[in-house]
Amino acid sequence: MSDLLSKRSLPDEKGRYQNITPTSAGWKYVGFQAYQLAKNQTITFNASSDEEICLVLVGGKANATLAGESLGEIGDRSGPFEKKKPYSLYVTAGDTAELTATTDVELAVCRAPGKGTFPSRLISPEEVGAEARGNGNNKRYVHNILPDNENADSLLVVEVYTDEGCTSSYPSHKHDRDAPPEETHLEETYYHRLNPSQGFCIQRVYTDERDLDECMAVYDGDVVMVPRGYHPVATIAGYDSYYLNVMAGPVRKWLFTWEEDHAWVNSPEYANKHNNQK
C-alpha cells in the first residue's frame, strides 16, 4: 500500500478514525483528523500558541463554544452529499473550541501553523463561496470554506463534489515550488467520501520526473497525502465523490502550474465540444 494513503481506521475512544500529523506525513505544515461523534458527546480543541485550526462540520449538528463564547447550535446537513454549504469554526492560536453533538456528527479537523494574527470566528454557510468548474467529463462543484482571500495565517480549506464518471483536480496541476507569483509550495490532504459508501475512486500522485508516481484506489473515509507533484482524481461509474482539501505552506496563496501535456482540456475548444453535445 502506498505511503501516501491513510486508510480509514476503527474509531478510538474519542471517535477519531483519521490522524495525519506533520510528523506522520513527513512534512512541515498540514495536520488533519476526522472524527465520528455520538449524540451528546463533547469534545474540546485547544489551538497551541503556534497553530490554527479549522473545524468543519461535514455532517450533523452540535452546540458550539468558541473562545469562551456560546454560539448555540450549528450545522445544517446530515452529511456531505446533501451538498449544502457547511458550518465551520476558525480557531486562532491559543484559543479553544468546544462542541457538544446534538446529533451524530462527522467532524473534520484541519491544522496548520498559526500566529494568532486573526481572531477566532464562526464561518457560516452564507460566508462560503460556491462555484462550478470545468466542462464535460471534467466538471465539479466547489465550496470555498477558507480560501486565500479570507483571513487565516496558513490554512486553506475547500470541499469538492465530483459526479460519477468525471475527473477532478484536473487537468493535472501541482503546487510544490516556492516560487510566487508563478507557483506556491503547498502540502495537501484529500479526505475522501463516496456515495454510495461502498464505492471507490482513483487518485494518482506523480511528478514530471516520475520519481514519485503512485496510483491509489481510495475508499470512503480514506485520506490521500500530496507532498508534491500532480494529483488528479477520477470517479467510477455509479459513485459520486466528495473530498475535503486542506492546504498549507510557507506562503498562503494558491498558485499552481498545469501539466503541459493535459492543459488543452482547459481550452474553449474542449468546452465547446461538450457544450454542443448537450
| CB atoms closer than 10 angstroms to residue 126 | 6
Contacts of 107 (CB under 8 A, 6+ apart): 34, 35, 36, 37, 43, 55, 56, 57, 58, 60, 99
Upstream peptide bond of 125 is cis (omega within 30 degrees of 0):
no
Q: Dihedral of the CA atoms 24, 26, 29, 34 (nearest 10)?
A: -30
Classify residue 268 as exposed, middle or buried by CB count within 10 Å of its CB (0-12, 13-18, 19+). Answer: exposed
The rounded distance, in Å, linking the Cα atoms of 93 and 67 is 11
The rounded distance, in Å, linking the Cα atoms of 58 and 132 is 20
Three-state secondary structure readout of 210-232: CCCEEEEEEECCCEEEECCCECC
Which neighbouring-strand residues pair with 248? 187
- Look at residue 139 in the predicted model and tell me its pLDDT: 93
Question: What do you get for the CA distance between the two ends of the chain, in Å?
Answer: 40
DSSP 207: -
Mean pLDDT estimate for the chain = 96
C-alpha cell at 41: 458527546
Helix (H, G, I), strand (E, B) or coil at 89: strand
The answer to whether the CB of 194 falls within 8 A of the CB of 200 is yes
- Look at residue 267 in the predicted model and tell me its pLDDT: 85
C-alpha cell at 104: 451524530
pLDDT < 70 stretches in the chain: 274-278
- Look at residue 79 in the predicted model and tell me its pLDDT: 97
Helix (H, G, I), strand (E, B) or coil at 209: coil
